Structure 1
Amino acid sequence: MVFPTAGIEVAPWVPPLVAFVISFFTSMGGVSGAFLLLPFQMSVLGYTHPSVSATNQLFNIVAIPSGVYRYWKEGRMVWPLTWVVVVGTLPGVLIGAVVRVAYLPNPKNFKLFAAAVLLYIGLRMVQDLLKKNTGGTAKADAEKRFQEMVRRHRSLASQAGGHGSPQTLPSVKVTHFNTRRLGYTFYEESYDVPFWGIFALAFIVGIVGGIYGIGGGAIIAPFFVTFFKLPVYTVAGAALMGTFVTSVAGVAFYQALAPFYPTMSVAPDWLLGILFGVGGMAGMYLGARCQKYVPAKAIKWMLAAIIVFTAVKYIVGFFY
């Protein structure tokens, strides 16, 4: 099957299958699959036009809603945090789109930028995994307590014939939100972060995500957990929702830029992006269902290895 915008020919079952496999494993580790999908498009399919970033964001648009719905249903969406992320990343992702088209149209230069992003994410994951290996932390203990509560809830729901109440699980409760601070409680713990610190981070991540075509969720979530000490159970939903909204804006902006660059492929390949998205949606759903059967540490080590390997490959390819 020929995809004219992408300038490639590939069997129609390949994009959804690849997206399914990537999303299945990455969703177990709590990481978006978009940052791995882009190297596949560039290195395997040979899709190196600037429009590959927009197509990658189209994948986010189709695949993410099911994950956001799951977090919302479980009461783990921190909506003030979500909206700060959205407002901060939106202008950033538009700037990133302009930078991608105007300054990084050359595939070789873009691969070097992509390598830097992937290397950062991979090394950050390795660092977090090594920290966890040094012993139990308060955050890890809290996560274990939460997981134990989830297991008890499932057991009670099973005994009740599947009619357990989701309200028995801990949910997010916002305590204050203004232009200075954001605070909320989760599982009897209080969290407080600076408004402008979150906004500045979201803006920078928006630029990077707009260039790379990942929406920024894979970058902003580790920052929230590592630097702002927010629990991963409440960060994932906000990061996903922010990625979804900024991806919508990114796709629209790339589409709007296309007429100004008639000799360059800028607009997304809609059919290819939707095929990736359908596979990603199914992969995220099944990955979340199967997560409890696979050790999270093994999955994250696997992801870190893939990311670092891809980054190193791009760096070596740039110089040789």
Structure 2
Amino acid sequence: MLCPDWVFFRLLIAALLLPLRVRLCVRTLSPARGRAVAEAEPSPVAPTALAVAVGVVGGVYGIGGGSLLGPILAARGLPMTRVAPAALAATFATCVVGAVVYALLSLTSVGDVVPDRWLGLACGPGGLVGGSIGTRLQPCLPETGLRLLLGGLAAGLGTLYAVQALA
């Protein structure tokens, strides 16, 4: 097993999210440095390798890949107009592949590995509405505010996971 217990998992996520938050907020608050990074396009290999790694981690631990990919891409300096669609696509792809794999495993495995289809279907409309609202609001919001919001959310989640693991 890659993650022996929930305490280790929560510490792992906290260890990933907290440094991302620091890097994202520092780059956002130092504008000259942030602009220079945003203008430099990453090679096609780097985002592809990152997406594969995030997909594997997201699939193994059952989390949407966008929750990791979004802060990583934003911390690298990519504009939020490119980060948000990539994160949503990663989450969607990870969730669909994960649900299919678990459904196939339920046919051959002993025990309860079937995904909760009703919960998944209930989350779908919320994601659709949220994505629609987000695409309309994003051009109206400043890039700095979006980056700081993402950094704050990453810090909050990382801190929550660390507190839960240590409690």
Q: Is the pair's TM-score, using the shorter chain for normalization, greater than 0.5?
A: yes
Note if 1:217 corresponds to 2:66.
Answer: yes
The whole-number CA distance in structure 1 between the counterparts of 2:42 and 2:91 is 22
Note if 1:193 corresponds to 2:91.
Answer: no
Give the C-alpha shift of residue 248 in structure 1.
1.5
Unaligned runs of at least 5 residues, structure 2: none
Q: Paired residue for 1:241, among 89, 94, 97?
A: 89
Q: Paired residue for 2:35, among 137, 147, 162?
A: 137
What is the total number of aligned residue pairs between the two structures? 166
**CA offset digits 1:207-246 (Å, max 9, x no partner):** 222234344234345555665x766545654554344333
Higher helix share: 2
Aligned residue runs from structure 1 range 85-104, under 5 A: 102-104=1-3
Q: Paired residue for 1:309, among 121, 134, 156?
A: 156
Give the C-alpha shift of residue 269 in structure 1.
1.4
Corresponding residue of 2:27? 128
Note if 1:266 corresponds to 2:113.
Answer: yes
The whole-number CA distance in structure 2 between the counterparts of 1:210 and 1:115 is 18
SS of residue in 1 equivalent to 2:133:
helix
Which amino acid is the alignment partner of residue 116 of structure 1? A
User: For residues 304 and 242 of structure 1, do their structure 2 counterparts lie closer, same or farther at Cα, with a shift above 3 Å needed?
Assistant: closer
Unaligned runs of at least 5 residues, structure 1: 1-101, 143-189
User: For residues 256 and 108 of structure 1, do their structure 2 counterparts lie closer, same or farther at Cα, with a shift above 3 Å needed?
Assistant: farther
Indicate conservation of the 8 Å contact 2:21/2:71, yes or no: no
Aligned residue runs from structure 1 range 1-320, under 5 A: 102-104=1-3, 106-132=5-31, 134=32, 137=35, 193-195=43-45, 197-221=46-70, 223=72, 233-234=81-82, 236-258=84-106, 260=109, 262=111, 265-320=112-167
Which is greater in Rg? 1
TM-score w.r.t. structure 2 length? 0.70
Which amino acid is the alignment partner of residue 246 of structure 1? T
The whole-number CA distance in structure 1 between the counterparts of 2:70 and 2:5 is 29
User: For residues 221 and 103 of structure 1, do their structure 2 counterparts lie closer, same or farther at Cα, with a shift above 3 Å needed?
Assistant: closer
Give the C-alpha shift of residue 268 in structure 1.
2.1
SS of residue in 1 equivalent to 2:43:
strand
SS of residue in 2 equivalent to 1:117:
helix
Question: Aligned-pair RMSD on alpha carbons?
Answer: 3.5
The whole-number CA distance in structure 2 between the counterparts of 1:202 and 1:309 is 23
The whole-number CA distance in structure 1 between the counterparts of 2:89 and 2:26 is 26
The whole-number CA distance in structure 2 between the counterparts of 1:234 and 1:201 is 15
Give the C-alpha shift of residue 131 in structure 1.
3.2
The whole-number CA distance in structure 1 between the counterparts of 2:82 and 2:153 is 26
Higher strand share: 1
TM-score w.r.t. structure 1 length? 0.42
**CA offset digits 1:99-122 (Å, max 9, x no partner):** xxx443733333223323332443
Give the C-alpha shift of residue 271 in structure 1.
1.2
